[in-house]
Structure 1
Protein backbone atom coordinates (compact mmCIF):
# COMPACT_ATOMS: atom_id res chain seq x y z
CA UNK A 1 0.00 0.00 0.00
CA UNK A 2 2.91 2.34 0.68
CA UNK A 3 4.19 1.74 -2.83
CA UNK A 4 0.76 2.39 -4.32
CA UNK A 5 0.73 5.73 -2.51
CA UNK A 6 4.29 6.84 -3.26
CA UNK A 7 5.67 5.18 -6.42
CA UNK A 8 4.86 7.23 -9.51
CA UNK A 9 2.58 10.22 -9.73
CA UNK A 10 -0.08 9.61 -12.33
CA UNK A 11 -2.80 7.11 -13.21
CA UNK A 12 -1.95 3.47 -13.68
CA UNK A 13 -3.09 0.85 -16.15
CA UNK A 14 -6.76 1.47 -15.51
CA UNK A 15 -8.98 4.53 -15.48
CA UNK A 16 -9.10 6.02 -11.98
CA UNK A 17 -12.53 5.41 -10.48
CA UNK A 18 -13.40 3.39 -13.59
CA UNK A 19 -14.93 -0.06 -13.93
CA UNK A 20 -11.84 -2.07 -12.90
CA UNK A 21 -11.39 0.14 -9.82
CA UNK A 22 -15.01 -0.36 -8.83
CA UNK A 23 -15.03 -4.14 -9.33
CA UNK A 24 -11.73 -4.74 -7.54
CA UNK A 25 -12.57 -2.26 -4.81
CA UNK A 26 -15.78 -4.10 -3.97
CA UNK A 27 -15.86 -6.72 -1.22
CA UNK A 28 -17.49 -9.10 -3.68
CA UNK A 29 -13.87 -9.91 -4.62
CA UNK A 30 -13.89 -12.19 -1.56
CA UNK A 31 -16.57 -14.28 -3.24
CA UNK A 32 -14.87 -14.02 -6.62
CA UNK A 33 -11.59 -15.23 -5.16
CA UNK A 34 -13.14 -18.50 -3.98
CA UNK A 35 -14.82 -19.04 -7.35
CA UNK A 36 -11.59 -18.28 -9.20
CA UNK A 37 -9.63 -20.85 -7.20
CA UNK A 38 -12.29 -23.49 -7.78
CA UNK A 39 -12.35 -22.76 -11.50
CA UNK A 40 -8.59 -22.64 -11.94
CA UNK A 41 -8.32 -26.01 -10.16
CA UNK A 42 -10.10 -27.74 -13.05
CA UNK A 43 -7.10 -27.24 -15.35
CA UNK A 44 -4.58 -30.08 -14.95
CA UNK A 45 -1.51 -27.92 -15.59
CA UNK A 46 -2.66 -25.13 -13.29
CA UNK A 47 -3.46 -27.74 -10.65
CA UNK A 48 -0.03 -29.38 -10.96
CA UNK A 49 1.73 -26.04 -10.66
CA UNK A 50 -0.18 -25.08 -7.54
CA UNK A 51 0.22 -28.45 -5.85
CA UNK A 52 3.96 -28.69 -6.48
CA UNK A 53 5.12 -25.10 -6.23
CA UNK A 54 2.69 -23.30 -3.93
CA UNK A 55 2.72 -22.96 -0.14
CA UNK A 56 -1.06 -22.87 0.01
CA UNK A 57 -1.27 -25.80 2.42
CA UNK A 58 1.41 -24.70 4.88
CA UNK A 59 0.87 -20.95 4.50
CA UNK A 60 -2.57 -20.39 2.92
CA UNK A 61 -2.88 -16.78 4.03
CA UNK A 62 0.59 -15.92 2.78
CA UNK A 63 -0.32 -17.46 -0.58
CA UNK A 64 -3.54 -15.46 -0.64
CA UNK A 65 -1.64 -12.28 0.20
CA UNK A 66 0.61 -12.85 -2.80
CA UNK A 67 -2.37 -13.10 -5.14
CA UNK A 68 -4.02 -10.08 -3.52
CA UNK A 69 -0.82 -8.10 -4.03
CA UNK A 70 -0.96 -8.66 -7.78
CA UNK A 71 -4.61 -7.62 -7.86
CA UNK A 72 -4.34 -4.38 -5.87
CA UNK A 73 -0.97 -3.22 -7.24
CA UNK A 74 -1.97 -3.61 -10.89
CA UNK A 75 -5.42 -2.14 -10.23
CA UNK A 76 -4.53 0.87 -8.09
CA UNK A 77 -0.80 1.39 -8.58
CA UNK A 78 0.87 3.78 -10.98
CA UNK A 79 1.91 2.49 -14.39
CA UNK A 80 5.50 2.34 -13.13
CA UNK A 81 4.58 0.24 -10.12
CA UNK A 82 2.31 -2.05 -12.16
CA UNK A 83 5.17 -2.74 -14.58
CA UNK A 84 7.47 -3.56 -11.66
CA UNK A 85 4.88 -5.98 -10.25
CA UNK A 86 4.37 -7.63 -13.64
CA UNK A 87 8.14 -8.16 -13.92
CA UNK A 88 8.20 -9.71 -10.44
CA UNK A 89 5.39 -12.13 -11.30
CA UNK A 90 6.96 -13.05 -14.65
CA UNK A 91 10.16 -13.90 -12.77
CA UNK A 92 8.25 -16.14 -10.37
CA UNK A 93 6.47 -17.85 -13.25
CA UNK A 94 9.76 -18.74 -14.95
CA UNK A 95 10.65 -20.90 -11.95
CA UNK A 96 7.36 -22.81 -11.95
CA UNK A 97 7.76 -25.67 -14.39
CA UNK A 98 7.74 -29.45 -14.32
CA UNK A 99 5.79 -32.53 -15.35
CA UNK A 100 2.37 -33.48 -14.04
CA UNK A 101 1.56 -36.97 -12.73
CA UNK A 102 0.17 -38.00 -16.12
CA UNK A 103 3.41 -36.98 -17.83
CA UNK A 104 2.36 -33.66 -19.30
CA UNK A 105 4.88 -30.82 -19.03
CA UNK A 106 3.67 -27.54 -17.55
CA UNK A 107 5.08 -24.06 -17.19
CA UNK A 108 3.52 -21.07 -15.47
CA UNK A 109 4.95 -18.91 -18.28
CA UNK A 110 3.01 -20.82 -20.95
CA UNK A 111 0.79 -18.24 -22.71
CA UNK A 112 -2.04 -20.76 -23.01
CA UNK A 113 -1.96 -21.50 -19.27
CA UNK A 114 -1.75 -17.79 -18.45
CA UNK A 115 -4.79 -17.27 -20.66
CA UNK A 116 -6.71 -19.97 -18.80
CA UNK A 117 -5.94 -18.52 -15.36
CA UNK A 118 -7.04 -15.10 -16.60
CA UNK A 119 -10.30 -16.48 -18.03
CA UNK A 120 -11.24 -18.22 -14.79
CA UNK A 121 -10.28 -15.20 -12.71
CA UNK A 122 -12.15 -12.69 -14.86
CA UNK A 123 -15.33 -14.77 -15.06
CA UNK A 124 -15.33 -15.35 -11.28
CA UNK A 125 -14.88 -11.70 -10.33
CA UNK A 126 -17.43 -10.53 -12.88
CA UNK A 127 -20.01 -13.05 -11.67
CA UNK A 128 -19.34 -12.21 -8.02
CA UNK A 129 -19.89 -8.53 -8.72
CA UNK A 130 -23.16 -9.35 -10.45
CA UNK A 131 -24.39 -11.55 -7.61
CA UNK A 132 -23.00 -9.94 -4.47
CA UNK A 133 -21.55 -6.54 -5.32
CA UNK A 134 -22.94 -3.08 -5.78
CA UNK A 135 -24.86 -2.46 -8.99
CA UNK A 136 -22.58 -0.71 -11.49
CA UNK A 137 -25.10 -0.27 -14.32
CA UNK A 138 -26.40 3.08 -13.08
CA UNK A 139 -22.91 4.54 -13.20
CA UNK A 140 -21.33 2.76 -16.16
CA UNK A 141 -24.32 1.59 -18.19
CA UNK A 142 -25.76 -1.89 -18.80
CA UNK A 143 -22.65 -3.09 -20.67
CA UNK A 144 -20.22 -2.36 -17.85
CA UNK A 145 -19.32 -6.06 -17.77
CA UNK A 146 -17.99 -5.89 -21.33
CA UNK A 147 -15.84 -2.91 -20.33
CA UNK A 148 -14.46 -4.83 -17.36
CA UNK A 149 -13.56 -7.87 -19.48
CA UNK A 150 -11.87 -5.72 -22.13
CA UNK A 151 -9.98 -3.49 -19.69
CA UNK A 152 -8.78 -6.18 -17.27
CA UNK A 153 -7.25 -8.11 -20.18
CA UNK A 154 -4.35 -5.66 -20.00
CA UNK A 155 -3.10 -7.33 -16.83
CA UNK A 156 -2.90 -10.74 -18.51
CA UNK A 157 -1.19 -9.37 -21.60
CA UNK A 158 1.50 -7.92 -19.33
CA UNK A 159 2.29 -11.46 -18.16
CA UNK A 160 2.41 -12.94 -21.66
CA UNK A 161 -1.14 -14.11 -22.37
CA UNK A 162 -2.82 -13.46 -25.70
CA UNK A 163 -6.07 -14.03 -27.59
CA UNK A 164 -8.07 -12.59 -24.71
CA UNK A 165 -11.84 -11.97 -24.74
CA UNK A 166 -13.17 -8.42 -24.78
CA UNK A 167 -16.81 -9.04 -23.82
CA UNK A 168 -18.96 -11.21 -21.55
CA UNK A 169 -20.06 -13.34 -24.48
CA UNK A 170 -16.51 -13.94 -25.69
CA UNK A 171 -15.45 -14.79 -22.13
CA UNK A 172 -18.21 -17.40 -21.75
CA UNK A 173 -17.32 -18.94 -25.13
CA UNK A 174 -13.61 -19.06 -24.28
CA UNK A 175 -14.27 -20.84 -20.99
CA UNK A 176 -16.56 -23.38 -22.65
CA UNK A 177 -13.97 -24.13 -25.35
CA UNK A 178 -11.59 -25.36 -22.62
CA UNK A 179 -14.10 -27.88 -21.33
CA UNK A 180 -12.71 -31.01 -23.10
CA UNK A 181 -9.27 -30.58 -21.50
CA UNK A 182 -10.43 -29.97 -17.92
CA UNK A 183 -10.51 -32.41 -15.01
CA UNK A 184 -12.44 -32.70 -11.74
CA UNK A 185 -11.08 -30.73 -8.81
CA UNK A 186 -9.65 -33.18 -6.22
CA UNK A 187 -11.82 -33.54 -3.14
CA UNK A 188 -9.07 -32.44 -0.77
CA UNK A 189 -8.41 -29.25 -2.73
CA UNK A 190 -12.10 -28.36 -2.90
CA UNK A 191 -12.41 -28.97 0.84
CA UNK A 192 -9.40 -26.77 1.48
CA UNK A 193 -10.64 -23.90 -0.70
CA UNK A 194 -14.10 -23.92 0.83
CA UNK A 195 -12.86 -24.31 4.42
CA UNK A 196 -9.15 -23.51 4.94
CA UNK A 197 -7.44 -24.22 8.22
CA UNK A 198 -6.42 -21.66 10.80
CA UNK A 199 -9.75 -19.85 11.17
CA UNK A 200 -11.43 -18.97 14.46
CA UNK A 201 -15.10 -19.64 15.08
CA UNK A 202 -16.34 -16.26 13.86
CA UNK A 203 -13.97 -16.30 10.92
CA UNK A 204 -15.26 -19.74 9.91
CA UNK A 205 -18.82 -18.43 9.91
CA UNK A 206 -17.93 -15.45 7.73
CA UNK A 207 -15.69 -17.42 5.40
CA UNK A 208 -18.29 -20.16 5.14
CA UNK A 209 -20.87 -17.72 3.82
CA UNK A 210 -18.35 -16.28 1.36
CA UNK A 211 -17.28 -19.75 0.21
CA UNK A 212 -20.86 -20.91 -0.35
CA UNK A 213 -21.49 -17.81 -2.45
CA UNK A 214 -18.30 -18.49 -4.41
CA UNK A 215 -19.55 -21.99 -5.20
CA UNK A 216 -22.81 -20.49 -6.46
CA UNK A 217 -21.28 -17.98 -8.89
CA UNK A 218 -18.86 -20.35 -10.63
CA UNK A 219 -19.35 -20.71 -14.39
CA UNK A 220 -21.77 -23.46 -15.48
CA UNK A 221 -18.96 -24.70 -17.74
CA UNK A 222 -16.83 -25.51 -14.68
CA UNK A 223 -19.20 -26.06 -11.78
CA UNK A 224 -19.78 -29.80 -12.09
CA UNK A 225 -16.03 -30.43 -12.40
CA UNK A 226 -15.49 -28.39 -9.24
CA UNK A 227 -18.23 -30.31 -7.44
CA UNK A 228 -20.29 -27.19 -6.68
CA UNK A 229 -23.71 -25.91 -7.88
CA UNK A 230 -22.50 -23.01 -10.03
CA UNK A 231 -24.59 -20.08 -11.13
CA UNK A 232 -26.83 -22.06 -13.47
CA UNK A 233 -28.27 -24.16 -10.68
CA UNK A 234 -28.10 -21.26 -8.23
CA UNK A 235 -30.39 -19.18 -10.41
CA UNK A 236 -32.96 -21.98 -10.45
CA UNK A 237 -32.91 -22.74 -6.72
CA UNK A 238 -34.78 -20.57 -4.19
CA UNK A 239 -32.45 -21.79 -1.43
CA UNK A 240 -29.37 -20.79 -3.38
CA UNK A 241 -30.85 -17.39 -4.19
CA UNK A 242 -31.39 -16.83 -0.48
CA UNK A 243 -27.77 -17.77 0.22
CA UNK A 244 -26.52 -15.28 -2.35
CA UNK A 245 -28.77 -12.59 -0.94
CA UNK A 246 -27.43 -13.29 2.56
CA UNK A 247 -23.86 -13.04 1.31
CA UNK A 248 -24.63 -9.78 -0.47
CA UNK A 249 -26.10 -8.17 2.65
CA UNK A 250 -23.24 -9.45 4.79
CA UNK A 251 -20.72 -7.82 2.47
CA UNK A 252 -22.68 -4.59 2.42
CA UNK A 253 -22.68 -4.52 6.21
CA UNK A 254 -18.94 -5.10 6.22
CA UNK A 255 -18.51 -2.36 3.62
CA UNK A 256 -20.37 0.11 5.85
CA UNK A 257 -18.13 -0.82 8.77
CA UNK A 258 -14.89 -0.48 6.83
CA UNK A 259 -15.66 2.71 4.93
CA UNK A 260 -16.12 3.67 1.28
CA UNK A 261 -12.61 2.81 0.06
CA UNK A 262 -10.13 0.04 0.76
CA UNK A 263 -6.66 1.05 2.02
CA UNK A 264 -5.24 0.28 -1.43
CA UNK A 265 -7.71 2.62 -3.10
CA UNK A 266 -7.07 5.24 -0.42
CA UNK A 267 -3.39 5.02 -1.32
CA UNK A 268 -4.15 5.53 -5.01
CA UNK A 269 -6.44 8.46 -4.35
CA UNK A 270 -3.71 10.09 -2.25
CA UNK A 271 -1.14 9.57 -5.04
CA UNK A 272 -3.49 11.23 -7.51
CA UNK A 273 -4.06 14.18 -5.16
CA UNK A 274 -7.73 13.38 -4.61
CA UNK A 275 -7.57 12.79 -0.87
CA UNK A 276 -5.31 13.74 2.05
CA UNK A 277 -2.54 11.50 3.28
CA UNK A 278 -4.00 8.38 4.97
CA UNK A 279 -3.38 8.06 8.69
CA UNK A 280 -1.44 4.83 8.19
CA UNK A 281 1.03 6.47 5.79
CA UNK A 282 3.58 8.03 8.13
Structure 2
Protein backbone atom coordinates (compact mmCIF):
# COMPACT_ATOMS: atom_id res chain seq x y z
CA UNK A 1 0.00 0.00 0.00
CA UNK A 2 1.33 3.43 -0.91
CA UNK A 3 0.31 6.67 0.72
CA UNK A 4 -1.20 9.26 -1.58
CA UNK A 5 0.09 12.79 -1.27
CA UNK A 6 -2.39 15.60 -0.81
CA UNK A 7 -0.51 18.45 -2.44
CA UNK A 8 1.71 19.56 0.44
CA UNK A 9 5.48 19.59 0.23
CA UNK A 10 6.64 16.03 1.13
CA UNK A 11 10.20 17.16 1.84
CA UNK A 12 13.47 15.54 0.86
CA UNK A 13 12.45 11.90 1.21
CA UNK A 14 8.71 11.74 0.62
CA UNK A 15 6.14 9.58 2.34
CA UNK A 16 6.79 6.52 0.16
CA UNK A 17 10.46 6.34 1.16
CA UNK A 18 11.94 3.77 3.51
CA UNK A 19 13.22 6.62 5.67
CA UNK A 20 9.74 8.06 6.17
CA UNK A 21 8.41 4.76 7.55
CA UNK A 22 11.51 3.74 9.52
CA UNK A 23 12.14 7.00 11.35
CA UNK A 24 8.72 6.88 12.98
CA UNK A 25 9.72 3.78 14.95
CA UNK A 26 10.35 4.24 18.72
CA UNK A 27 13.50 2.10 18.59
CA UNK A 28 15.18 5.07 16.93
CA UNK A 29 15.94 6.33 20.46
CA UNK A 30 17.94 3.19 21.28
CA UNK A 31 19.63 3.49 17.90
CA UNK A 32 20.59 7.09 18.63
CA UNK A 33 22.38 6.07 21.82
CA UNK A 34 24.18 3.29 19.95
CA UNK A 35 25.32 5.91 17.45
CA UNK A 36 26.86 8.01 20.25
CA UNK A 37 28.79 5.00 21.53
CA UNK A 38 30.06 4.22 18.04
CA UNK A 39 30.88 7.80 17.07
CA UNK A 40 32.96 8.24 20.23
CA UNK A 41 35.42 5.60 19.02
CA UNK A 42 36.89 7.95 16.41
CA UNK A 43 39.40 10.01 18.43
CA UNK A 44 39.41 13.04 16.12
CA UNK A 45 35.63 13.11 15.84
CA UNK A 46 34.87 12.75 19.55
CA UNK A 47 37.56 15.30 20.39
CA UNK A 48 35.73 17.80 18.21
CA UNK A 49 32.57 17.24 20.26
CA UNK A 50 34.23 17.36 23.67
CA UNK A 51 36.30 20.47 22.93
CA UNK A 52 33.37 22.44 21.55
CA UNK A 53 30.51 21.64 23.90
CA UNK A 54 29.77 20.97 27.53
CA UNK A 55 28.59 17.46 26.85
CA UNK A 56 27.83 16.61 30.47
CA UNK A 57 25.85 19.78 31.18
CA UNK A 58 23.91 19.83 27.92
CA UNK A 59 23.75 16.19 26.86
CA UNK A 60 19.94 16.13 26.82
CA UNK A 61 19.87 19.33 24.78
CA UNK A 62 22.36 17.80 22.35
CA UNK A 63 20.26 14.66 21.98
CA UNK A 64 17.13 16.72 21.39
CA UNK A 65 18.89 18.89 18.80
CA UNK A 66 19.99 15.76 16.97
CA UNK A 67 16.45 14.34 17.15
CA UNK A 68 15.07 17.63 15.88
CA UNK A 69 17.51 17.65 12.95
CA UNK A 70 16.60 14.08 11.99
CA UNK A 71 12.90 14.86 12.38
CA UNK A 72 13.14 18.02 10.30
CA UNK A 73 15.12 16.43 7.49
CA UNK A 74 12.80 13.40 7.43
CA UNK A 75 9.35 14.92 7.89
CA UNK A 76 9.81 18.64 7.34
CA UNK A 77 9.38 20.57 4.13
CA UNK A 78 12.22 20.76 1.64
CA UNK A 79 12.88 24.36 2.67
CA UNK A 80 12.98 23.45 6.37
CA UNK A 81 15.40 20.58 5.71
CA UNK A 82 17.70 22.78 3.65
CA UNK A 83 17.66 25.47 6.35
CA UNK A 84 18.54 22.89 9.00
CA UNK A 85 21.44 21.67 6.90
CA UNK A 86 22.68 25.20 6.31
CA UNK A 87 22.68 25.87 10.06
CA UNK A 88 24.72 22.75 10.74
CA UNK A 89 27.25 23.61 8.03
CA UNK A 90 27.57 27.17 9.33
CA UNK A 91 28.27 25.97 12.88
CA UNK A 92 30.78 23.37 11.74
CA UNK A 93 32.71 25.85 9.62
CA UNK A 94 33.81 27.88 12.65
CA UNK A 95 34.58 25.00 15.02
CA UNK A 96 37.91 23.25 15.41
CA UNK A 97 39.75 20.90 17.73
CA UNK A 98 43.33 20.40 18.84
CA UNK A 99 45.18 17.09 18.97
CA UNK A 100 46.77 17.07 22.44
CA UNK A 101 49.62 14.81 21.31
CA UNK A 102 50.73 16.72 18.20
CA UNK A 103 49.24 20.18 18.71
CA UNK A 104 47.57 19.93 15.30
CA UNK A 105 44.54 22.15 14.86
CA UNK A 106 41.83 20.84 12.55
CA UNK A 107 38.27 21.67 11.60
CA UNK A 108 35.34 19.56 12.71
CA UNK A 109 33.99 19.78 9.18
CA UNK A 110 36.77 17.67 7.69
CA UNK A 111 35.04 15.35 5.19
CA UNK A 112 36.52 12.25 6.83
CA UNK A 113 35.06 13.23 10.20
CA UNK A 114 31.67 14.15 8.78
CA UNK A 115 31.59 10.83 6.94
CA UNK A 116 32.38 8.87 10.11
CA UNK A 117 29.63 10.61 12.08
CA UNK A 118 27.16 10.06 9.24
CA UNK A 119 27.98 6.38 8.72
CA UNK A 120 28.00 5.57 12.45
CA UNK A 121 24.59 7.21 12.80
CA UNK A 122 22.93 5.65 9.77
CA UNK A 123 24.41 2.22 10.51
CA UNK A 124 23.05 2.42 14.05
CA UNK A 125 19.56 3.36 12.90
CA UNK A 126 19.47 0.56 10.36
CA UNK A 127 21.06 -2.05 12.63
CA UNK A 128 18.82 -1.49 15.66
CA UNK A 129 15.62 -1.24 13.62
CA UNK A 130 16.26 -4.47 11.73
CA UNK A 131 17.57 -6.42 14.71
CA UNK A 132 14.60 -5.38 16.86
CA UNK A 133 12.08 -6.68 14.35
CA UNK A 134 11.23 -3.71 12.14
CA UNK A 135 10.41 -5.34 8.76
CA UNK A 136 13.20 -4.10 6.51
CA UNK A 137 14.38 -6.45 3.78
CA UNK A 138 17.90 -6.30 2.37
CA UNK A 139 16.52 -4.31 -0.55
CA UNK A 140 14.88 -1.87 1.86
CA UNK A 141 18.17 -1.54 3.74
CA UNK A 142 20.06 -0.70 0.57
CA UNK A 143 17.38 1.78 -0.38
CA UNK A 144 17.58 3.39 3.06
CA UNK A 145 21.33 3.87 2.74
CA UNK A 146 20.94 5.34 -0.74
CA UNK A 147 18.29 7.74 0.52
CA UNK A 148 20.65 9.05 3.17
CA UNK A 149 23.01 10.49 0.67
CA UNK A 150 20.54 13.36 1.03
CA UNK A 151 21.20 13.82 4.74
CA UNK A 152 24.94 13.48 4.06
CA UNK A 153 24.73 16.30 1.52
CA UNK A 154 22.95 18.49 4.05
CA UNK A 155 25.87 18.34 6.51
CA UNK A 156 28.43 19.17 3.81
CA UNK A 157 29.47 15.84 2.31
CA UNK A 158 29.77 14.99 -1.37
CA UNK A 159 26.79 12.65 -1.69
CA UNK A 160 28.46 10.62 -4.43
CA UNK A 161 31.22 9.60 -1.98
CA UNK A 162 28.86 8.34 0.70
CA UNK A 163 28.14 4.58 1.02
CA UNK A 164 24.88 3.90 -0.79
CA UNK A 165 24.31 0.22 0.03
CA UNK A 166 25.22 -2.42 2.60
CA UNK A 167 28.32 -3.61 0.74
CA UNK A 168 29.73 -0.09 0.45
CA UNK A 169 29.00 0.61 4.11
CA UNK A 170 30.74 -2.60 5.23
CA UNK A 171 33.75 -1.71 3.08
CA UNK A 172 33.87 1.76 4.64
CA UNK A 173 33.90 0.39 8.20
CA UNK A 174 36.66 -2.06 7.25
CA UNK A 175 38.78 0.83 5.93
CA UNK A 176 38.26 3.08 8.95
CA UNK A 177 38.64 0.38 11.59
CA UNK A 178 42.43 0.96 12.13
CA UNK A 179 41.73 4.62 13.01
CA UNK A 180 39.39 3.77 15.89
CA UNK A 181 40.34 3.71 19.54
CA UNK A 182 38.70 4.13 22.95
CA UNK A 183 40.61 7.10 24.33
CA UNK A 184 39.82 9.21 27.37
CA UNK A 185 37.05 11.06 25.55
CA UNK A 186 35.34 7.82 24.49
CA UNK A 187 35.40 6.51 28.04
CA UNK A 188 33.98 9.82 29.25
CA UNK A 189 31.08 9.42 26.81
CA UNK A 190 30.65 5.81 27.96
CA UNK A 191 30.58 6.84 31.61
CA UNK A 192 28.12 9.63 30.93
CA UNK A 193 25.73 7.41 28.96
CA UNK A 194 25.62 4.90 31.81
CA UNK A 195 25.31 7.51 34.58
CA UNK A 196 24.04 10.83 33.24
CA UNK A 197 23.75 13.57 35.87
CA UNK A 198 20.20 13.89 37.13
CA UNK A 199 18.18 15.21 40.04
CA UNK A 200 18.60 13.03 43.16
CA UNK A 201 14.89 12.18 43.11
CA UNK A 202 15.27 10.79 39.59
CA UNK A 203 18.25 8.55 40.32
CA UNK A 204 16.06 5.45 40.88
CA UNK A 205 14.39 6.02 37.50
CA UNK A 206 17.79 6.46 35.89
CA UNK A 207 18.97 3.15 37.33
CA UNK A 208 15.75 1.33 36.44
CA UNK A 209 15.07 2.69 32.95
CA UNK A 210 17.90 4.71 31.45
CA UNK A 211 20.72 2.30 32.28
CA UNK A 212 18.75 -0.56 30.74
CA UNK A 213 18.36 1.39 27.51
CA UNK A 214 22.00 2.51 27.48
CA UNK A 215 23.22 -1.02 28.12
CA UNK A 216 21.02 -2.38 25.36
CA UNK A 217 22.39 0.23 22.97
CA UNK A 218 25.95 -0.64 24.01
CA UNK A 219 25.33 -4.37 23.72
CA UNK A 220 24.13 -3.93 20.13
CA UNK A 221 27.50 -2.51 19.05
CA UNK A 222 29.74 -4.55 16.72
CA UNK A 223 32.31 -6.87 18.36
CA UNK A 224 35.27 -4.60 17.61
CA UNK A 225 33.57 -1.79 19.56
CA UNK A 226 33.23 -4.03 22.62
CA UNK A 227 36.92 -4.91 22.31
CA UNK A 228 37.92 -1.25 22.15
CA UNK A 229 35.78 -0.23 25.12
CA UNK A 230 37.06 -3.23 27.05
CA UNK A 231 33.65 -4.26 28.30
CA UNK A 232 32.05 -7.47 27.01
CA UNK A 233 28.53 -7.84 25.75
CA UNK A 234 26.12 -10.74 26.20
CA UNK A 235 25.85 -13.40 23.52
CA UNK A 236 24.48 -12.00 20.22
CA UNK A 237 21.35 -14.12 20.47
CA UNK A 238 20.62 -12.67 23.91
CA UNK A 239 21.07 -9.12 22.64
CA UNK A 240 18.79 -9.78 19.67
CA UNK A 241 16.12 -11.22 21.95
CA UNK A 242 16.28 -8.18 24.22
CA UNK A 243 16.08 -5.82 21.26
CA UNK A 244 13.02 -7.63 19.94
CA UNK A 245 11.30 -7.61 23.32
CA UNK A 246 12.04 -3.90 23.76
CA UNK A 247 10.84 -3.16 20.24
CA UNK A 248 7.62 -5.09 20.82
CA UNK A 249 6.91 -3.22 24.06
CA UNK A 250 7.62 0.23 22.64
CA UNK A 251 5.64 -0.40 19.46
CA UNK A 252 2.67 -1.45 21.60
CA UNK A 253 2.39 2.16 22.80
CA UNK A 254 -0.19 3.82 20.52
CA UNK A 255 1.48 5.97 17.90
CA UNK A 256 -0.83 8.88 18.66
CA UNK A 257 0.66 8.97 22.17
CA UNK A 258 4.29 8.52 21.08
CA UNK A 259 4.01 11.27 18.49
CA UNK A 260 2.87 13.76 21.12
CA UNK A 261 6.40 13.79 22.53
CA UNK A 262 8.79 16.46 21.27
CA UNK A 263 9.80 17.34 18.63
CA UNK A 264 6.39 16.40 17.04
CA UNK A 265 7.59 16.45 13.42
CA UNK A 266 5.35 13.53 12.46
CA UNK A 267 2.23 15.35 13.66
CA UNK A 268 3.15 18.40 11.61
CA UNK A 269 3.84 16.25 8.55
CA UNK A 270 0.50 14.49 8.73
CA UNK A 271 -1.25 17.83 9.22
CA UNK A 272 0.49 19.05 6.08
CA UNK A 273 0.02 15.95 3.94
CA UNK A 274 -3.03 14.22 5.38
CA UNK A 275 -3.57 11.11 7.53
CA UNK A 276 -2.36 8.75 4.80
CA UNK A 277 1.16 10.10 5.42
CA UNK A 278 1.38 8.54 8.89
CA UNK A 279 4.50 6.35 8.97
CA UNK A 280 3.94 2.65 9.58
CA UNK A 281 5.85 -0.53 8.72
CA UNK A 282 3.03 -1.92 6.57
CA UNK A 283 3.35 1.08 4.27
CA UNK A 284 6.79 0.00 3.11
CA UNK A 285 6.58 -0.27 -0.64
CA UNK A 286 8.84 -2.20 -2.94
CA UNK A 287 12.05 -0.11 -3.13
CA UNK A 288 12.06 2.04 -6.21
CA UNK A 289 14.98 2.70 -8.52
CA UNK A 290 17.78 4.71 -6.95
CA UNK A 291 18.22 8.18 -8.49
CA UNK A 292 21.16 8.59 -10.87
CA UNK A 293 22.12 11.90 -9.28
CA UNK A 294 22.08 11.55 -5.48
CA UNK A 295 21.25 14.54 -3.37
CA UNK A 296 18.98 16.25 -5.87
CA UNK A 297 15.27 16.36 -5.14
CA UNK A 298 13.08 13.75 -3.52
CA UNK A 299 13.73 10.03 -3.59
CA UNK A 300 10.26 8.63 -3.99
TM class by smaller structure = 0.7 to 0.9
Q: Can you list the C-alpha shifts for 1:225-265, whole angstroms capped at 9, x where unaligned?
A: 234556xx642xx5434433332233223456825787311
d(CA) in 1 for partners of 2:216, 2:55 = 21
Contact 1:26-1:133 within 8 A present in 2 as well? no
Number of residue pairs matched?
A: 261
**Residues 59, 178 of structure 1: alpha-carbon distance in 2 compared, 3 angstrom cutoff:** same
**Residues 271, 256 of structure 1: alpha-carbon distance in 2 compared, 3 angstrom cutoff:** closer
Tell me the equivalent position of 1:181.
179
**Stretch deviating more after TM superposition (127-136 or 110-119):** 127-136
Contact 1:94-1:109 within 8 A present in 2 as well? yes
d(CA) in 1 for partners of 2:101, 2:145 = 33
Tell me the equivalent position of 1:264.
265
d(CA) in 1 for partners of 2:27, 2:37 = 16
Structure 2 residue 79 is matched with structure 1 residue 80: yes
Q: For residues 80-229 of structure 1, what are the structure 2 equivalents within 5 Å?
A: 80-103=79-102, 104-137=104-137, 142-162=138-158, 163-186=161-184, 187-198=187-198, 200=202, 201-229=204-232
**Stretch deviating more after TM superposition (212-221 or 81-90):** 212-221
d(CA) in 1 for partners of 2:147, 2:260 = 21
Give the secondary structure class of the aligned counterpart of 1:98: strand
**Residues 25, 83 of structure 1: alpha-carbon distance in 2 compared, 3 angstrom cutoff:** same
**Residues 49, 116 of structure 1: alpha-carbon distance in 2 compared, 3 angstrom cutoff:** same
Tell me the equivalent position of 2:4.
none
d(CA) in 1 for partners of 2:276, 2:165 = 33
d(CA) in 2 for partners of 1:245, 1:185 = 32
Give the secondary structure class of the aligned counterpart of 1:198: coil
Tell me the equivalent position of 2:298.
none
Tell me the equivalent position of 2:281.
none
d(CA) in 1 for partners of 2:23, 2:132 = 13
Structure 2 residue 244 is matched with structure 1 residue 245: yes
Does 1 or 2 have the higher relative contact order (CA < 8 Å, sep 6+)?
2
Tell me the equivalent position of 1:55.
54
Query: How large is the Cα RMSD of the aligned pairs?
Result: 2.5
Q: CA deviation at 1:192?
A: 0.8
Structure 2, unaligned runs of 5 or more: 1-6, 278-300
Contact 1:266-1:275 within 8 A present in 2 as well? no
Structure 1, unaligned runs of 5 or more: 1-7, 277-282
Q: Can you list the C-alpha shifts for 1:122-145, whole angstroms capped at 9, x where unaligned?
A: 1111111012252234xxxx4111
d(CA) in 2 for partners of 1:67, 1:260 = 17
**Residues 205, 254 of structure 1: alpha-carbon distance in 2 compared, 3 angstrom cutoff:** farther
Contact 1:209-1:247 within 8 A present in 2 as well? no
Q: CA deviation at 1:214?
A: 0.9
**Residues 227, 269 of structure 1: alpha-carbon distance in 2 compared, 3 angstrom cutoff:** farther
Give the secondary structure class of the aligned counterpart of 1:222: helix
Q: What is the TM-score when the length of structure 2 is the normalising length? A: 0.78
